[in-house]
Amino acid sequence: MPEDLHVNDPWAPLEIDKDDREKIWSQSSSFAKDVWYRFTRKPTSLLGLFLLVVLVLFCVLGPSFVPHSYEVQNLNFVNIPPTFNVYNVEGRYIYLTPNLKLIEVAEDGTLLAPLARINDDGMKKRTTFDMGGGAELVLNYKAKPPQLEDSERNAITDMRQVRNKTYPLGTDNLGRDMLIRLMMGMRISLLIALIAAAVNLVIGILYGGVSGYIGGTLDTVMMRVVDIVSTIPLTLYVILIQVLMGGSSGILSIVIALGTVYWVNMARVVRGEILSLKEQEFVHAARTLGSGTWRILTTHLIPNAMGPIIVTVTMLIPNAIFIEAFMSFIGLGVMPPMASLGTMCNDALSTLRSSPYQLFLPALAICLTMIAFNFVGDGLRDALDPKLRK
């Protein structure tokens, strides 16, 4: 056959190149490896996973490195912010608190001790403080804003900004360390997240799986129970549980409430997936081979529905965290002296104008936690979608 005819013939066999064959060949990938690959290709998913790791380390390991307790009050250091301005008085640094008290501060920002009051002239609106060694300081709160004066009534204007080394995130209105309280509040939120995930995975999967697979009258009755449970507000559940427990409140009320009603959304999702999967050929094959109902559910149906289940769990967890914070905020959740993000927000309302950081810190922690779980859930939803698999 002529060479040019061989080239133009569409039915001519192709020459096999071993180098090209090696390039085309690749190692087979498992489903889990493929999901992880697609999950890591999305920047927001990695950001959410990174935030979750940081938050877990912050609340689990952080309290071991903080010398203060979340419940100990120090009324000498009330409403001290993370950074503040100090007056330089002959080499000694004095901080004027929002409560018009004077606290001596070291040069590196360590809080030392409050200055003792000598007298309080209410008529002239001046208060004299003892500096020690015969030296005195006068607080003139007639001026707007109040200012410090020396014993000769000369205003002290030499100021500098320092960071609070004793309490890096400041103190609340009772002198408690905001850092350790934020860590404990994050622990409560993550505990609620774990409980919500466990409840959804155990009760929701089993209830929805049985309802969807058996169907018929049993499915109708079980779904009507779900409808009834989902119509009653969760706040009312918590109040009723507290009444039944003799008025005692705390995290146990939230745990019981979530364990009672929080699985209904998961049950609906699982039921829908089981209804679509139970008519597939592999289920009919398993039934033909003599597999029972429980074996088909646990071996064939539920594992094939784990994609939507995992996505639903990660999406419902932020809602559970917000529910706990809201319940604690209105006084139905964690009670003092236990720290919670909701109780910290409630305590910060009284000092919102003078100390806004007390509300900003727990609100930021709630936002970061919810954003992290939402990013992870969004990444898992795309990674587990079989339509996106290449």
Backbone angles phi, psi at 115, to 5 degrees: -80, 140
What is residue 125's predicted lDDT score, i.e. its pLDDT?
Answer: 77
What is residue 32's predicted lDDT score, i.e. its pLDDT?
Answer: 75
Quickly count: other Cβ atoms within 10 Å of residue 297's Cβ.
Answer: 21
> Does position 153 have pLDDT exceeding 80, yes or no?
no
What is residue 4's predicted lDDT score, i.e. its pLDDT?
Answer: 52
Mean pLDDT of the chain: 83
What is residue 101's predicted lDDT score, i.e. its pLDDT?
Answer: 87
Both structure tokens of 85 = 């301005």
Residue whose structure tokens are 């999305």: 42
> Does position 336 have pLDDT exceeding 90, yes or no?
no
| 250 or 304, greater pLDDT | 304
What is residue 105's predicted lDDT score, i.e. its pLDDT?
Answer: 92
> Does position 58 have pLDDT exceeding 60, yes or no?
yes
> Does position 144 have pLDDT exceeding 80, yes or no?
no
Q: Where are the beta strands (DSSP E) in the chain?
A: 83-89, 92-96, 102-105, 111-114, 116-121, 126-132, 135-140, 147-149, 159-163
**pLDDT over 70, % of the chain:** 88
The confidence band for 167, taking pLDDT boundaries of 50, 70 and 90, is very high
What is residue 156's predicted lDDT score, i.e. its pLDDT?
Answer: 83
Q: Are the C-beta atoms of residues 82 and 357 closer than 8 Å to each other?
A: yes
> Does position 51 have pLDDT exceeding 90, yes or no?
yes
Residues 125-132, mean pLDDT to the nearest whole number: 81
Quickly count: other Cβ atoms within 10 Å of residue 20's Cβ.
Answer: 10
What is residue 379's predicted lDDT score, i.e. its pLDDT?
Answer: 86
In angstroms, the CA 58 to CA 66 distance is 11
Q: Are the C-beta atoms of residues 260 and 280 closer than 8 Å to each other?
A: no
| 306 or 18, greater pLDDT | 306
In angstroms, the CA 86 to CA 96 distance is 7
| 15 or 146, greater pLDDT | 146
Quickly count: other Cβ atoms within 10 Å of residue 346's Cβ.
Answer: 18
What is residue 49's predicted lDDT score, i.e. its pLDDT?
Answer: 92
Minimum mean pLDDT range among 19-33, 128-142, 300-314: 19-33
| 167 or 322, greater pLDDT | 167
* Omega prior to 318 cis, within 30 of 0: no
Backbone angles phi, psi at 233, to 5 degrees: -60, 145
* Omega prior to 145 cis, within 30 of 0: yes
In angstroms, the CA 233 to CA 324 distance is 14
**Of 73-77, 124-128, 146-150, 337-341, which one has max mean pLDDT?**
73-77
What is residue 1's predicted lDDT score, i.e. its pLDDT?
Answer: 46
In angstroms, the CA 390 to CA 375 distance is 22
| 81 or 142, greater pLDDT | 81
Residues 117-130, mean pLDDT to the nearest whole number: 75
What is residue 215's predicted lDDT score, i.e. its pLDDT?
Answer: 84
What is residue 377's predicted lDDT score, i.e. its pLDDT?
Answer: 85
What is residue 116's predicted lDDT score, i.e. its pLDDT?
Answer: 85
What are the structural domains of the chain?
A: 83-163 (no CATH), 178-388 (1.10.3720.10)
What is residue 151's predicted lDDT score, i.e. its pLDDT?
Answer: 74
Question: pTM of the entire structure?
Answer: 0.82
> Does position 180 have pLDDT exceeding 90, yes or no?
yes
pLDDT tens profile 233-270: 877 877 777 777 765 556 777 777 777 788 888 889 89
The 8-class DSSP code of residue 219 comes to: H
> Does position 5 have pLDDT exceeding 60, yes or no?
no
What is residue 386's predicted lDDT score, i.e. its pLDDT?
Answer: 59
- Please choose, from the candidates 338, 326, 336, the residue with its C-alpha nearest in 3D space to the C-alpha of residue 366: 326
Quickly count: other Cβ atoms within 10 Å of residue 235's Cβ.
Answer: 14
